[in-house]
Amino acid sequence: MGRVVLLWVLLCATAQASEMMDRLNALEKDPAAREQSYAAAQERILLCSKCHGEDGNSKRDYIPNLAGQNPQYLFDAFEKYVTGQRTDFVMNQAAKLLTLDERVNIAFYFSQQQVHPRPATDPLDAALVEQGAQRFGTVCAACHGAAALGHDGIPRIAGQPGQYLNHALQRYRDKDPSRAGSPMLGVAAALSDADIAALTAYLSQLQP
Ligand code: HEC
Ligand code: HEC
């Protein structure tokens, strides 16, 4: 019985994700629909913008930038917050308030914004950045891409704020339940605090 329910949930999630991709592709092709989607999103993100910024550049360094993020990843993140697979006190509640249409519009809107990186070390620590670049090239680029832009459901991590990156990597490494089931749990297991500091310095200054 449990298996049947699980299968049903998985099928629905897959159907929703492909419906979402169809809608996003349609938006790319139809300027009028795109403007409508934009306007709808702008109205709906009043609450979100207090933390993530109107243009998706976050107001605090512990809050992720949504600007320039891959729309499928944003959409998947909403799903995970709604189902509770990913936990965050504010986001679990915020995601539940959004309809499917709103999630598509908001994912599209933020994906179209320009991210403005805020380097974690000021002045830039060139040696640490170089160390992070090397680590990234050997361990992370295979999935996140050479320029850390990600693709589809894999997030762009170039230009995320340092505090957010640092915290996310520590939680993956320490197998914090807030991101249960993530492939990052296995990847991050071998990272030292020094690796995390170097990766954070590198990624937070990277211009997407
Ligand atoms: C009170 C501040 C706050 C508000 C309001 C808020 N968020 Fe968030 N949001 C956060 C924080 C903090 C995180 C990181 C949580 C985590 O690590 O899971 C986050 C994470 C996210 C993520 C995942 C990003 C990633 O890189 O994985 C998305 C997508 C998101 N928020 C969208 C929204 C939307 C859309 C709204 C409005 C409906 C909203 N947020 C409202 C603070 C907020
Ligand atoms: C096997 C593929 C894979 C590898 C290798 C990988 N990642 Fe990831 N990463 C993912 C996926 C998929 C996600 C999104 C899943 C999730 O939300 O936890 C992710 C999420 C992340 C996030 C959270 C982004 C956000 O906006 O919340 C960070 C930060 C991150 N990865 C950094 C890294 C770093 C640094 C490395 C190298 C040490 C790395 N990743 C290697 C697949 C990978």
Q: What is the pLDDT of residues 19-52, one digit of tens each?
A: 777 887 888 889 999 899 989 998 899 999 999 9
**For residue 8, what pLDDT is reported?**
62
Closest atom of ligand 1 to 69 CA is 26
Give the integer Cα–Cα distance in Å for 141 and 150: 9
Per-residue pLDDT tens over the stretch 48-60: 999 999 999 999 9
Going from the Cα of 130 to the center of ligand 2, the distance in angstroms, rounded, reads 20
Sign of torsion over alpha carbons 122, 110, 34, 208: positive
**Which residues, judged by CB distance below 6 Å to any ligand atom, belong to the binding site of ligand 1?**
45, 47-48, 50-52, 63-64, 66, 74, 77, 86, 88, 90-91, 94, 98, 106, 155
Nearest to 202 by CA among 128, 93, 114: 128
With a cut of 50, which residues of the chain have pLDDT below it? 1
